[in-house]
Structure 1
Amino acid sequence: MLIIKILVHIPLFNKAATILRAINSVCNQDYTNFDLLIIDDGSTDESLDLIKHFKSDRILIYSQENTGVSATRNCALKFAIDKHYDGIAFLDADDYWWPNHLSLLTQLFTKFPEAQAVASNYNLKRSRKTLETQWSGFKNEKDQLLEHFFEHNYLNSICTCSTLMIKTEAIEKVGFFNEQVTHFEDIDWFTKIGMNLKVAFSFRVTTIIDETAENRSDQTDMNNRCLPDFSCYETEIKKHQGLQKYLDLNRFSIALAYRMENDIRNAAFYQQKINLRNLSLKQQKLLLMSGLQLKSLKHTQKIFGNLGWHLRTGN
């Protein structure tokens, strides 16, 4: 197996309930050639106090005034470049890894040397059960280099900020997170990865994404979110198979979230950019419902779950 030096990054903001679980899942990895960089982004709870007791040369703890998750992740990307790490892997403070996570991702780089980013499968932890993730566009469940990246992202995101590792040398091709965006900043960055890098994927589950955790960004009021409109990628559609549908499905998610809040103006902004042929009839009908009707279908996540579509909103 290829031996590479990995920087693991956990962005931290008011995650006292889950941060120790996340750190322990990193420390328990069976692949040990890594350092862990935790950047506390101005937490106002006891998060920073909880992690100070970790005594290890491999655990680096930085603290800064609150700048947002995109700026925090960018600090980690620049740190990886400056310190000459071979790759950087992300873990959100809500989530946790199984002990074989880093070894599996490293194996993917060994198996597919042309890959510049790799990701593994994950389960979604919800209030009553843990769900297997549904995927699109696969003919088999073998480890594989993705020929048409975007076609595999129609139901859920192949990449997440808890399952992805990217080679440090490839960061220049992708660029950094958009610091003006507070939600869907990860999807925006993954779009650039899909357009610019070769990505390898494994169906083996190595991560639990905990959607029951407190203080998740998907609980933020829609009026306090800054979202991408994806217009900058329109000129790339003809170059990348599946990109237009991928963008439209993300626009659908955002438009539906705005409709839930009866914000018709912002919902219409995203809806008018959607090619309806890329939505199912059920999805099209949802876009015609009022906020009251949508709320009668209970929680937004349940709506998306019944559609086989997972709303992705960052950490």
Structure 2
Amino acid sequence: MIPFFSVVIPLYNKEKFIDATLKTVLDQSFSDFEIIIINDGSTDNSLNIVEQIKDKRIRLYSNENIGLPSTRNYGIHKAKSDFMAFLDADDLWREDYLETIHKLILTYKDFSAFATGYKTLTPKSTADLSVTKFSLNHIKHICNYLDMLNSNISPSSLVVNKKVFKEIGYFDESVNYGEDEDFYIRLLKKYDFVIYESPKIYYRILFENQMTSPNANFKKVIPDFNKYLNNENREDLKPYLDFIHFKLVVLFKMEKNNKLVTLYKEKIDPANLSIIQSIKYHLPIPIFYLLKKIYLKIF
């Protein structure tokens, strides 16, 4: 029997988190799903932890380390369902995440991409995974790139119909950083999508061994986002690209990489930044780094 959802979980060295992450999937109020875990060459105890969890809905595969975009694509190809739900191996779903997405799919039959909002989870905070009341007031349509600036989604809150990948392509395997934003750009070129803005997932930040954390030893291969700019989409895409490039400026300031900070600052129109973003944009690297370190110690 074909499950309604296929949950794709790439796994690489997440021994401290994978058990809790999987538990939030298995505890979902909507239970018609399969879980596809792709062990991407983990060198810690992650694989052993997964193997000890016995549930017939779990399908486990192991590859040599091929990277996150390739691992996600591998999971998509293995999936039985028409609806792909993505979950990073250190994030958490609220108990009604899939139930919420299921309601969106049944209500908006002409749409092929769905998401919910998220909350960040720091080492000093705790997650409330309980069910919250479903409300139509939380639903928003994402129709252009400007809408993305005011949305609050993460890869772990995204569900996509499998047919979408045949139309716009899969995650870009030639990069190892920023593949999510690259996919969103291609997605919105062809498809609007529905977001339930109330947070239904917890996205971990400030934890060790995270791809999005500053790590000067990890050589990042980042998409050329500007290749998507043209005269027809420039008005709404350019501010969104400036936001993406701003996040890269912040990242590389934390890595004290002056060359890449300069490179991505030059791609940004500062007029598209908020006041706080503009301050961060202009702060010299040493001052920014010091202030950020103080902030991280507090939170």
Q: Scaled by the length of structure 2, what TM-score is found? A: 0.87
Q: Give the structure 2 partner of residue 145 of structure 1.
A: 141
Alpha-carbon distance in 2 for matches of 1:19, 1:117: 26
Q: Give the structure 2 partner of residue 311 of structure 1.
A: none
How many aligned residue pairs are there? 288
Q: Give the structure 1 partner of residue 89 of structure 2.
A: 93
Alpha-carbon distance in 2 for matches of 1:67, 1:243: 31
Alpha-carbon distance in 2 for matches of 1:119, 1:16: 27
The alpha-carbon deviation at position 240 of structure 1 amounts to 7.1
8 Å Cα contact 1:257/1:300 also seen in 2:
no
Q: 1:300 to 1:104 in 2, by over 3 A?
A: farther
Partner AA of 2:238 in structure 1 = Q
Partner AA of 1:98 in structure 2 = R
The alpha-carbon deviation at position 197 of structure 1 amounts to 1.3
Q: Give the structure 2 partner of residue 35 of structure 1.
A: 34
Alpha-carbon distance in 1 for matches of 2:102, 2:235: 27
Larger mean CA deviation between 109-118 and 8-17 belongs to 109-118
Q: Give the structure 2 partner of residue 230 of structure 1.
A: 225
8 Å Cα contact 2:8/2:37 also seen in 1:
yes
Q: How do residues 1-315 of structure 1 correspond to structure 2 at under 5 angstroms? A: 5-80=4-79, 83=80, 85-129=81-125, 141-148=137-144, 150-154=145-149, 158-222=152-216, 224-235=219-230, 238-239=232-233, 242-299=236-293
8 Å Cα contact 1:229/1:251 also seen in 2:
no
After superposition, the C-alpha distances for 1:226-278 in whole angstroms (9 at most, x for unaligned) are: 2223022112x623762210100111111232234342322222222212221
8 Å Cα contact 1:260/1:290 also seen in 2:
no
Q: 1:56 to 1:131 in 2, by over 3 A?
A: closer
The alpha-carbon deviation at position 214 of structure 1 amounts to 2.9
The alpha-carbon deviation at position 145 of structure 1 amounts to 2.4
The alpha-carbon deviation at position 210 of structure 1 amounts to 1.8
RMSD: 2.5
Q: 1:143 to 1:264 in 2, by over 3 A?
A: same
Q: 1:162 to 1:300 in 2, by over 3 A?
A: farther
Q: 1:214 to 1:258 in 2, by over 3 A?
A: closer
Alpha-carbon distance in 2 for matches of 1:211, 1:58: 28
Q: Give the structure 2 partner of residue 310 of structure 1.
A: none
Q: Scaled by the length of structure 1, what TM-score is found? A: 0.83
8 Å Cα contact 1:4/1:87 also seen in 2:
no
Q: 1:205 to 1:283 in 2, by over 3 A?
A: closer
8 Å Cα contact 2:83/2:161 also seen in 1:
yes
Q: 1:55 to 1:233 in 2, by over 3 A?
A: same
Q: 1:59 to 1:260 in 2, by over 3 A?
A: closer
8 Å Cα contact 2:214/2:252 also seen in 1:
no
The alpha-carbon deviation at position 141 of structure 1 amounts to 4.4
The alpha-carbon deviation at position 177 of structure 1 amounts to 1.1
Alpha-carbon distance in 2 for matches of 1:34, 1:256: 38
Alpha-carbon distance in 1 for matches of 2:175, 2:64: 18
Structure 2 gaps of 5+ residues are: 129-135
Identity of paired residues, percent? 28
Larger mean CA deviation between 182-191 and 59-68 belongs to 182-191
After superposition, the C-alpha distances for 1:41-76 in whole angstroms (9 at most, x for unaligned) are: 000000001111222321100011001111100101
8 Å Cα contact 2:214/2:255 also seen in 1:
no
Alpha-carbon distance in 2 for matches of 1:121, 1:172: 26
Alpha-carbon distance in 1 for matches of 2:294, 2:88: 22
The alpha-carbon deviation at position 77 of structure 1 amounts to 1.7
Alpha-carbon distance in 1 for matches of 2:233, 2:282: 32
Partner AA of 2:56 in structure 1 = D
Instruction: Describe the SS at the equivalent of 2:175.
Output: coil
8 Å Cα contact 1:260/1:295 also seen in 2:
yes
After superposition, the C-alpha distances for 1:261-312 in whole angstroms (9 at most, x for unaligned) are: 342322222222212221134433433332211112123976xx9xxxxxxx
Instruction: Describe the SS at the equivalent of 1:297.
Output: helix
Alpha-carbon distance in 2 for matches of 1:129, 1:56: 29
Instruction: Describe the SS at the equivalent of 1:56.
Output: coil
